[in-house]
Structure 1
Amino acid sequence: MKMSHREDKETSKNDQQFVWPWMGVIANIKTEVKDGRYVGESGTKIRQELEKKGFNPVRVQALWNSRGHSGLAVVEFNKDWVGFCNAIAFEKSYEIERRGKRDFYVSRDRGDKLFGWLAYDDDYYSKGILGDHLRKKGHLRTLSNKKAEEQRQRSMLVADLQKTLEIESSRLMEMESKYEKTKHSLDNLVIQKDEMLRAHNEEIRKMQQNARDHLAKIYLEHDKVTQHLQAQKHELRQQEEELELREFQNEGKRAKLRHDKEMVERAFLEQQKANNNFLRLAEDQKREKEKLHRKIIELERELDDKQSLELDIERLRGARQVMKHMEDDDDADLKEKMKQIEESLEAKEEPSPVLTVQHWRTNDELQDARKELIKTFQNNTSRAQIWVKRMGELDSKPFLIAAKRKFAAKEANVMAVTLCSEWENLLRDPGWYPFKGITEGENRKEIIDEEDEKLKALKDEYGEEVFKAVSKALEEMNEYNGSGRYTVPELWHSREGRRASLKEGVAYLLKLWKPQKKKN
């Protein structure tokens, strides 16, 4: 039987020897001379181009000899049939473009085009760098041999699987026999277990019923105890609230008693200091008071003289007016009398330099006397009728009350002292001037600017009383020492809340001095 042309061609290809692992040849790679050696494209760049065409090469290795790049490269494909198909497609792509193996060898003008083909036995046995590389990296194999080898491997694999199947079947039969025995034994155990479980469940049911009955009894007793405890708890809470209320009231009373005691002790100590000062300064004060009394009598006499002089002036002015209305008369005596009255009036209205100097001296002496009184009453407390108040001094009590309202008891005192100290420093700062001017009639005066940012923040955070304390200190500071911004001592009437006169200070000093004099 004759074979067809296709079958002959297929048999011829099956008997043709290929280099395995499947390899292809790239020829006519462009090279150039650098530093005396030939250089050309690397295998990596060629592999990337072949991957873009879908040939999936494993690697591309350029062939180098002693003179450098040979212009040849070997393309390696996978060892399986997929790799063979990629190698065949690689060869066909170059043959279609007339850049196959035959074209490479018969072409006289190759240009810059690359040529490629699949490596066969003639390439394998060729002399030169290509043959050496193919013999080193692979060996020849026909497709028939490859198929026969794979067929043998599959036959061996099937035989091994058949043998393994027989062994596993024997083991399975043995395991089925053991399974039947084990199953029978387990069935007996399950029956026994069910009987034991039934008996156990019955016992558990009885125990649970007894436990429920016992728990119900305990619950009833617990409910009674709970109600009794809740009643006791309510009663104890009421007692606790009453005790807390009493404790709060007692604490308030104790705080008031402590405060009163401290005030009494402080007043007693200050009174002792005042008594000691009075005893020590008694004689000096006596002399000063006598001198002051004499000065007051002298001033009163001068005041009487001044008032008498003013009456004489008014009387003479009246007489002059009367004389003016009588000017039409030709009485020469009347005109002469008019002239005398005017001369007397001019003499009385002319200020006396002696009286002016005496007035200045009297004012200086009165100011010195007031300063001495301030020194004398410096140790008096605000509970005394006449005492020395430092105008512009900040009252710390509102700060303490606000701190106790805002902070914990342990922190209140510290925070009050800190806050009060900060505002005392701010009061002495000339750069801070929280005043605004207003006009009342023809007069213009300055008042506290309540819209000042610092004062407004203080009022919002610590309340009205602290704001009033700072405002009062500011007003006093501005009145007594607006430029210097420091406190000024002033003789003060505590009961009426005003500046005490010199006469009131002397009178109160004499009142205190008389009992001390009787004791001595």
Structure 2
Amino acid sequence: MADDHSSDEDSDFSDSELDYYAEKAYISLKNADHRILNPDGSLRCPFCAGKKKQDYRYKDLVQHATGIGASTSRKAKEKANHLGLARFLQKDLAFQAPPPPTLPPAADPAPSTSDSGGNELFVWPWVGILVNLPLENWVSIRELFAEFNPVNVIPSPEKDRNSGYGEAVIWFNKDWKGFKDAMSFENHFKVKRLGKKEWDEKKGDCLSGIHGWIARDDDYNSDRLFAKVLRKHGELKTVSEVTEQAARENGMMVAALAKKMARCVMFKGKPARMLKDFDGEREVENALENSNLELAAIEKQKADEDVKNLMEEQKREKEVALARLLTLESELDQKQKLELEIAQLKGKLKVMKHLQGEEDIEKKIEEIQKKLNEDKEDLEQLHNTLFMKEREANQELNEARAELIMGLTKLLKGNSLIGVKRMGDLDVKPFQSACKKRFPAEDADIKASELCSTCDEAIRNPSWHPFKIVECGGENKEVIDDEDPKLKSLCKDLGDDVCNAVKKALLEINEYNPSGRYPVSELWNCKEDRKATMKEVVHYIVKQYKARKGRR
């Protein structure tokens, strides 16, 4: 909002036009074209923007405006503006005049008593102290002093079991009515000569009757049984401080109400502008919503294209792999045929060695031996070729599997039949369950994370290898050593579930990455909880793509 007049009002005008321009300034203020309310609830003069003082009270601002409006030494424009301001204050803003800031609410004035000096420190919220209480009266304390409207009664944590008497604190409301009840409570005991003074004078002697008084700073700072309760639930304040706090809260409430009323005046004077602004905001919101819908559609289209490209790439790789497999099968048949031919030649050679009576036996043996050597060379060459092709096929298969893992990690969300599992990662759930049983609720999650992190570091440490070799079906096999000290200690401290989770992670690391000892990703059949085959993965991707395509 502007604080100065527009450029067409900058020139001075004669005194005869004073009423006209004063009315114009009044209408401008009524339409909320000028700001006169500060955030803290004080008022400002919109026509004295360069002045240092801009935090008037209502009465002072009225006096300022009427004084300048009646001045003979001021310019006509300045007088007209201030006359319009004075009229606006007296006619439209009189109901917003804030009350004096130091006075408490009129409906509940602060009590004034000779016992509560301005500098005397009381425990606030107001609290009374009861001593020499019979133990059998604990339950009926609140009913016993119901006339003083107690809010709560807290017995001291210890009681003198030998004497059969104890102490208690009785809490009153925080407001001035509560203070009045507390002072009445103290006067009740003073009249009966059962107050603090009598208690301190006869302390140690045989006393009779319940003594009571309102808690002050010496009680708050003492080492008596009830002092801990006072320090835990209360604080020391003077009556003046409580009064000032109530006045501040009241002033803030009045300022907030004044601000709301000013907004109401502004909205009342500008319905057309508000409607226009609302329509503009609604158009912006609609445009933003349409933009979000377009972005969502683009994102969905991009995801569909990614799935389609991935499926086509996997289809090409599958065709190449099938062609390579057919070639390998053909070459394997050729190898077997050569092996059979070599075996036949060896048989013929043995037969020829036994036929020593024939004349050309040596020549035939040399021919057969030569043929046999040639077939061996062909077989070795074929074997090397098959070995290299098998290595290339395995490498391509592993690369395709790695690409699938990367692609599916981005595309698959939530529960699905095929997913990507981190082999060797620790499951934190058993740690959380164990820690909730052994530690406080607020520390359980933090402790579970710390223990899980410690076990994860131990699993990745190459120096810890809790395995042993056993013979199974004629073959040596590595299994978990249940007698390992760390595993036994873990099972003893945190239970079988945590120990089994660590064993599972150890077995996965030992199978999938024994040299690096860090978790690796693997395609996983989530339904059957096992490693997924390439055929299963490709079939799943094709099925998902067809389902998406059908929904479009």
Under TM normalisation by the shorter chain, which class is it? 0.3 to 0.5
TM-score normalised to structure 1 length: 0.41
TM-score normalised to structure 2 length: 0.39
Name the structure with the higher helix share.
1
